[in-house]
């Protein structure tokens, strides 16, 4: 597949912007870092060997830009094992009550940064475990267990966030 700068924008801008927006929670900053990401990607397009890996490659550039932006505050992506220790481990893929889905954005915001990131990579960007492992430099088993624990944390947060108010609809 012949990959051009234009096809990079057409094929991946929406997803990369969505990730930046969800992760940074600031529209202006998200736009700026996405713009920087694509400009760098245009310059380095020759380094991308596999067009199918373009999404992961763009996200790795974006994550580098985010890290550069926040290097002073270093508030990103510390996975605190203790925080997840008491959560249920891997379980069946059991759906939540659809009415609770409205609470998802708020619940996601309350998760630790590293848990939010890994969920966004898996369920918003739809990256494979292998791709996530490559991006975060984690072994496959760790990726799997973190995703499961992050999902459990999210479910718990959604249940808290969306706790039905008496007489009110969600």
Partner 1 sequence: MTRNMTSTPGFDQQLKDTLRPGAAPDDLRRSLLLGAGTRRSRWTWPALGIAALLMVLLGGGTWGWMALGRGQEGSRLARASIQQYMEGPRMEFTAGASGPDSGEQGRRWSAQAAGFSAALPKCLAGQAMKGGCVCDMEACRAVCYYLQDGRAIYVFDRTLQGLPFDSDQPRRIASEGHRAQAWNENGRAYVLVEPPGWGGQS
C-alpha dist (Å) from residue 48 to 44, 51, 71: 7, 7, 26
Question: CA 116, CA 114: separation in Å to the nearest integer?
Answer: 5
Among 11, 18, 60, 142, binds partner 1 (CB under 8 A): 18
Is there binding between residue 85 and partner 1 (CB under 8 A)? no
Min separation Cβ 81 and partner 1, Å: 19
**83 sits near partner 1 (criterion: CB under 8 A):** no
Residues 150-169 binding partner 1 (CB under 8 A) are 151-152, 154-156, 159-160
Q: What is the DSSP string of 121-166?
A: IIIIS---HHHHHHHHT--HHHHHHHHHHHHHHHHHHHHHHTPPPT
Token digits of residue 65? 């830009």
Given the rule CB under 8 A, which residues bind partner 1? 2-6, 8-10, 13-19, 22, 28, 31-32, 34-36, 38-40, 42-43, 45-46, 48, 88, 93-101, 104, 119-120, 123-124, 126, 151-152, 154-156, 159-160
């Amino acid at each position: 597949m012949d990959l051009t700068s234009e096809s990079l924008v057409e094929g991946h801008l929406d997803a990369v912007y969505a990730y930046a927006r969800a992760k940074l929670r600031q529209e202006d900053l998200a736009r700026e870092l996405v713009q920087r990401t694509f400009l760098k990607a245009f310059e380095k397009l020759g380094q991308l060997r596999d067009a199918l890996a373009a999404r992961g490659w763009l996200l790795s550039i974006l994550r580098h830009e985010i890290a550069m932006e926040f290097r002073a505050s270093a508030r990103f992506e510390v996975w605190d094992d203790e925080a997840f220790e008491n959560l249920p481990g891997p379980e069946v893929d059991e759906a939540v009550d659809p009415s609770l889905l409205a609470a998802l954005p708020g619940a996601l915001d309350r998760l630790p940064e590293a848990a939010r990131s890994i969920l966004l990579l898996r369920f918003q960007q739809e990256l494979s475990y292998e791709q996530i492992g490559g991006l975060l430099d984690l072994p496959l088993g760790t990726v799997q267990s973190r995703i499961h624990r992050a999902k459990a944390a999210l479910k718990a947060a959604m249940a808290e966030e969306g706790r039905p108010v008496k007489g009110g609809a969600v």
